[in-house]
């Protein structure tokens, strides 16, 4: 079984347990009082070379890197990223492989940074239950990974999330996945330079895919971005946003690392 298959299999088991604790009906009943939802707005003009917005990620650990941050304090990280100019926060909510929880997202939502910035729930979504759960917990943006969503499931989840007001970030890693994302109606497409089977990062592959996505679609460059020149390169290729975790989180001061990455400070 590949890593991704193992993650998905555990996720399905997790959803089955969650359903027993809170039924789908309970969750749907909580929708009217769910926190308001904020859009992920791209501010670059099509065709203009501009600075992509930064979606700053928080995670305790990852399969490719092991332990990344200990102690791990999502609320403090959110404040630091916000003060340094992040445009959105990405919060890993998977427990077994990333050491996160949905509670991390809900707690950040109640801080000034979480009130000011849209929050991306970064997890492995394979069931409509998780889409509704995300909205109730206070997520604004939800990740869908094309590779783990066969057939009609991708468009089903995409439509459900959009109908609840969520921005759906549809993640791809191959040309075929970009095609599937667009056919399903994705308006925000992520290009992950990390192969989720081998965990290897190939920025050239990410760059190639990014430049093939048509105008009018919001583009997010994800994974393995470390230096100001990576930032500039993705901006020149048309990325509206860059999603960065590890290289900020490994720094003693993640907010300052964000500023250096964007060329705000040396
Ligand atoms: O990063 C991993 O090890 C990983 C393994 C299996 C599935 C997903 C994985 N990562 C998710 C991501 O793609 C990253 O969290 C995200 O794009 C940020 O990347 P980075 O800046 O390299 O932390």
**ipTM associated with this complex:** 0.98
Cβ atoms of 149 and 186 closer than 8 Å = no
- Judged by DSSP in three states, 211 sits in helix
Ligand 1 atom at shortest distance from the alpha carbon of 223: 19
Nearest to 239 by CA among 206, 205, 210: 210
Name every residue whose Cβ is closer than 8 Å to that of residue 87 and which is 6 or more positions away in sequence: 40, 53, 54, 55, 117, 118, 241
Residue 49: pLDDT over 90:
no
Report the pLDDT averaged over residues 90-96: 98
* Ligand 1 centroid to residue 118 C-alpha, Å: 19
Mean pLDDT of the chain: 95
| pTM recorded for the entire structure | 0.96
Domain boundaries, the chain: 3-27+52-142+149-167+226-261
42 band by pLDDT with thresholds 50, 70 and 90:
confident
Residue 264: pLDDT over 90:
no
Cα atoms in the 13 Å half-sphere on the side-chain side of 196: 19
244 forms beta bridges with 56
Per-residue CA distances from 148 to 11, 142, 145, 171 (Å):
11, 15, 6, 10
What pLDDT does 17 receive? 97
Rounded to the nearest 10 degrees, how much is the dihedral formed by the CA atoms of 83, 84, 89, 94?
-100
pLDDT, tens digit, 9 for 90 and up, residues 249-259: 999 999 999 99
The rounded distance, in Å, linking the Cα atoms of 242 and 222 is: 6
State if residue 90 touches ligand 1 by the CB under 6 angstroms criterion.
no
Q: Any idea which residues carry the catalytic annotation?
A: 57, 59, 122, 171, 192, 222-223
pLDDT, tens digit, 9 for 90 and up, residues 112-166: 999 999 999 999 999 999 999 999 999 999 999 999 999 999 999 999 999 999 9
* Closest residue by CA, ligand 1 atom 19: 223
What pLDDT does 44 receive? 59
Residue whose structure tokens are 């309970």: 26
191 forms beta bridges with 172, 221
The rounded distance, in Å, linking the Cα atoms of 116 and 52 is: 18
What pLDDT does 41 receive? 85
Q: What percent of the chain has pLDDT over 70?
A: 97
Name every residue whose Cβ is closer than 8 Å to that of residue 73 and which is 6 or more positions away in sequence: none
Which of the following CATH numbers is that of domain 3-27+52-142+149-167+226-261: 2.60.40.3670, 3.40.50.2300, 3.20.20.70, 3.40.50.300? Answer: 3.20.20.70
* Ligand 1 centroid to residue 261 C-alpha, Å: 18
Question: What is the CB neighbour count within 10 angstroms for residue 151?
Answer: 8
State if residue 35 touches ligand 1 by the CB under 6 angstroms criterion.
no
* Ligand 1 centroid to residue 36 C-alpha, Å: 28
What pLDDT does 107 receive? 98
Q: Which of 2, 62, 122, 243 to mutate to test the pocket of ligand 1 (most atoms within 8 A of CB)?
A: 62
* Ligand 1 centroid to residue 223 C-alpha, Å: 6
* Closest residue by CA, ligand 1 atom 18: 223
Residue 62: pLDDT over 60:
yes
Report the pLDDT averaged over residues 178-205: 97
pLDDT, tens digit, 9 for 90 and up, residues 166-185: 999 999 999 999 999 999 99
């Amino acid at each position: 079984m590949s890593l991704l298959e193992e993650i998905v299999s555990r996720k399905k088991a997790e959803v089955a347990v969650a359903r027993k604790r809170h039924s789908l009906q309970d969750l749907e009943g909580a929708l009217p009082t769910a926190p308001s939802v904020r859009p992920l707005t791209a501010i670059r003009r099509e065709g203009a070379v501009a600075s992509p917005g930064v979606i700053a990620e928080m995670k305790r650990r990852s399969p490719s890197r092991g332990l990344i941050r200990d102690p791990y304090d999502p609320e403090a990280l959110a404040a630091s990223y916000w003060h340094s100019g992040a445009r959105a926060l990405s919060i890993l909510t998977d427990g077994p492989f990333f050491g996160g929880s949905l509670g991390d997202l809900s707690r950040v939502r109640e801080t000034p940074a979480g009130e000011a910035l849209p929050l991306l729930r970064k997890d492995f979504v394979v069931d409509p239950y998780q889409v509704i759960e995300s909205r109730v917990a206070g997520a604004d943006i939800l990740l869908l990974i094309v590779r783990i969503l066969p057939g009609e499931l991708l468009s089903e989840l995409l439509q459900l999330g959009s109908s609840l007001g969520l921005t759906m970030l549809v993640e791809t890693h191959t040309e075929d996945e970009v095609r599937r994302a667009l056919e399903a109606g994705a308006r925000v497409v992520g290009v992950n330079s990390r192969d989720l089977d081998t965990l290897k990062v190939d920025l050239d592959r990410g760059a190639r895919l990014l430049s093939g996505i048509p105008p009018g679609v919001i583009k997010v460059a994800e994974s393995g971005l470390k230096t100001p020149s990576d930032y500039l390169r993705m901006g020149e290729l048309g990325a509206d946003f860059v999603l960065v975790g590890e290289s900020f989180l490994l720094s003693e001061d993640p907010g300052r690392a964000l500023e250096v990455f964007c060329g705000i400070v040396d």
